[in-house]
Homo-oligomer: A and B are copies of this chain.
Amino acid sequence: MGRISQLDQIKLCSGQFVLAINDTMNVIHGKWKLPIIGSLLYGKKRFKELEREISGITPRMLSKELKDLEMNGIVTRTVYDSIPVTVEYRLTRSGECFKKVLDVMVEWGLQHRKSIMV
């Protein structure tokens, strides 16, 4: 019934795939990471810009989640010694690629809604 997908092989090579899924889960884990990534998909942003765009987030959470995302190689933090200092957050190449994951999530979500409406 068609080609073998990566997940079909999970029993052959489950360690790798479980790690891969865990990595992906780490990126989207928690209440604020997706909103942050979503906001950065359309270009670099400064701390206060993100704080204003993501309604309801506190600076504490924003700071924490940005650090998490930076450690996981999803965003980069660049400090410019302008006056006053400017701090710029942007997605890494990997972070940009995460859009693919979001795209299937949207696709599945829409299909699922339709299938429930029946």
Contacts and interface: CB of A to CB of B under 8 A. Distances in A.
Interface of A: 5-7, 10, 16-17, 19-25, 28, 34, 38, 41, 73, 92-94, 97-113, 115-116
Main secondary structure of the interface of A (DSSP, over half): helix
A5 B106 CA distance: 10
A7 B41 contact: yes
Given A7-B99, A108-B24, A109-B24, A115 B73 contact: yes
Given A73-B115, A94-B112, A112-B23, A6 B103 contact: yes
Given A25-B28, A38-B10, A94 B115 contact: yes
Given A10-B38, A20-B113, A34-B25, A101 B105 contact: yes
Nearest to A92: B115
7 contacts: A7-B106, A17-B106, A20-B108, A24-B112, A25-B105, A94-B111, A101-B108
Contact of A22 (B7, B17, B21, B109): B109
Contact of A116 (B16, B73, B115): B73
